Each structure stands twice: as structure tokens, then as C-alpha cells.
Amino acid sequence: MAQNAFRIHRGKWVCKEHTVAAGAAAIEAGDMMQVTSGGITIALGTSSATAIIGIAAEDSALSASTRTLRVWEPTEKRCTCIGKVIAGAIAVGDTDSGRTCDLSTHEGVAADTDSQHHMIIVKGIVASADGSSTAGSAELRIAQDMENLNSF
């Protein structure tokens, strides 16, 4: 896991407490979190998430039982975060602005994958190339959140 893979950037975010699914992996502050299929608990974000809840605000060790976790959630459409681009390519600046992309894992996005429409690219900050082992970064908005579930 990479500490602070995502961090809040602009807009008003609120920190809420959620129940983490039993048996969910260890979580670090900055991990992107998703709602589980039942909609009652959360887990680390995946490339097939149906809704993104927000960014973990604290670390939480692996546990066989449910536990609580504080999560930063956007309160308005203009809220953005800075996140790693760990798959695909991104250019610095506005070249990729407005495109939707998917989470690759809880630690970053796949800029060239867009089947779940999890995130919207606001702008590229650090460029990356396809197949590069060096992560890029981008300013992103959560697109597929609980409010917009099933709207894509």
C-alpha cells in the first residue's frame, strides 16, 4: 500500500465514520474506498467498484470482524483530489481534462480505462506513459459516488 495515494485538494470535504466489511484488507490513509455490494459496508476501492465513497482518513489494520473507519467524502461537485495514475498515460495540463477513468486499485487510477466511470480527470499534474513504471498524478473528481450511482 502507498500512504496518501489520494489526498483531498479543493472544495468542501466532510469526514464521516463508516463500517468496514469484515475481513477487508488493511487500509492506509489516502486509500480510495468503495461501497460494498450490499451498500451497508465499505472496502478498499477496486477497478469494478459500483460506487466510490471517498478517501480513507486514517489507517486500519486487517480484522476478521467489522470495524469503523473515518473517510473523507466530497460534499459538492467541485471537490477534487490529487491521485496517482498507475496505469495508462496522462499528459501534464488540460489535454486529458473532462475524461472519465476507472480506479486501477485503491492506490490509483487507470487513465486509459473507462468502463466504470469512477473518476473525472480535471488536469494532469505529473505525466506518465503507457507501460511506464513511474506513476503520474492528476487532479481528479469522484464521478461514480453514492449520489450518482447507476447514472452512468
Three-state SS at 23: coil
Contacts of 11 by beta carbon, 8 Å cutoff, 6+ apart? 74, 75, 76, 78, 79, 80
> What is the residue type of 50?
T
User: What ranges do the domains of the chain cover?
Assistant: 6-74, 80-142
Q: What is residue 152's predicted lDDT score, i.e. its pLDDT? A: 42
The three grid cell numbers given for residue 148, joined into one nine-digit string:
450518482
- Say what the pTM is: 0.91
Q: Which residues of the chain, if any, have pLDDT below 70?
A: 1-3, 145-152
The predicted-structure confidence for 61-105, as pLDDT tens digits, reads as follows 988 889 999 999 999 989 999 999 999 999 999 999 999 999 999
Q: What is residue 1's predicted lDDT score, i.e. its pLDDT? A: 44
